[in-house]
Amino acid sequence: MTMTATGTDELLMEQDGHVLTLTLNRPDRLNAISGTMLSALSAKLVEANRDPDVRVLVLTGAGRGFCSGLDLVDQAAAQSGNGAEEERAPASHLFDLRDSPPTVLWRMDKPVIAAVNGAAAGYGMDLALLSDIRIAGESAKMAPVMVKRNVLPESGGSWLLPRMVGWGKAAEIFFLGRTLDAQQSLELGLVNLVVPDGELMATAMEWAQEIAANAPMAVQSTKRMMRLGLDESFETTVDHVMGHLRQLFATEDFKEGVASFIERRPAEFKGR
């Protein structure tokens, strides 16, 4: 099944089987985040996390860039009292943290793959880091330019990056504000894979479809245990894991997983 829908012109949605692709769609502004886009992205992420037919999400940008960050042009217009731009200004949408895209992304149990095309700058870099897997095109860039705009990594980056690369390296990246190309990002572990630009979406979809073919409840439980484990002791994590495991043992998908192993055939998981 393939389904395409557009809830807003600034966020395109396309579903192929159990994979939902969300495309930030302001290519003329390198997909700078507007207030409208923030609201639409949050709503769609929440909806996808609840939809049993969605097992994996792919997040990418239209045109030459993944996301150039918050739209500072709209923000400046809003601060100058331009009513036409005030609703589009992103900052007015940032402070309800319960419903902001970074918080929603962090809480999601569905796996998210960022297909990073072009620059992921500022807020866009945070969105990429909040994804579970990052596949980059050769022209991709991670641009931690916040200190050059008198802002800070407001959307999770200051929490995530030290855990990914260590305190010293994170300090170097954030304090210098230097742009990292795709190969540098790969060497630092900020992306999982670098591919030619023309192969980016096909590779992201290949990974997404392979994940979607696995038992969805097991994938989502694994992600939840990884997330919660960052703030838990080893013993607490083991206790939580055993609780989830007992629930998985009682499902139809567990029976299917065992049967497919015995019968030496691919499993057909139903998410039940």
One pLDDT digit (tens) per residue for the chain, 272 residues: 444 444 468 999 999 999 999 999 999 999 999 888 888 999 999 999 999 999 999 999 999 999 998 886 655 555 555 555 555 555 555 555 667 888 899 999 999 999 999 999 999 999 999 999 999 999 999 999 988 888 888 788 899 999 999 999 999 999 999 999 999 999 999 999 999 999 999 999 999 999 999 999 999 999 999 999 999 999 999 998 998 899 999 999 999 999 999 999 999 999 99
Which residue is listed with tokens 């596949």?
Answer: 135
Name residues whose C-beta falls within 8 Å of residue 212's C-beta, 6 or more positions apart in sequence: 17, 18, 19, 55, 56
Amino acid at 229: G
Tokens standing for residue 216: 């969805």
- The domain limits of the chain are 2-212, 216-263
Whole-Å CA distances, 3 to 15, 30, 226, 241: 5, 26, 31, 35
pLDDT digit string (tens) for 62-102? Answer: 999 999 988 866 555 555 555 555 555 555 555 556 678 88
Domains 2-212 and 216-263 share a fold: no
Say which CATH superfamily domain 2-212 falls into.
Answer: 2-enoyl-CoA Hydratase; Chain A, domain 1 (3.90.226.10)
Which residue is listed with tokens 């484990």?
Answer: 229
Task: Give the C-alpha separation, 252 to 176, whole Å.
Answer: 52
84: left (phi over 0), alpha (psi -120 to 50) or beta: alpha
Please give the model's pTM, rounded to 2 decimal places: 0.89
Strand partners, 115: 135
Query: Given this structure, which CATH class describes domain 216-263?
Result: mainly alpha
Long-range contacts of residues 242-248, Cβ cutoff 8 Å, at least 24 apart: 247/221, 248/215, 248/217, 248/218, 248/221
Task: Give the C-alpha separation, 8 to 30, whole Å.
Answer: 17
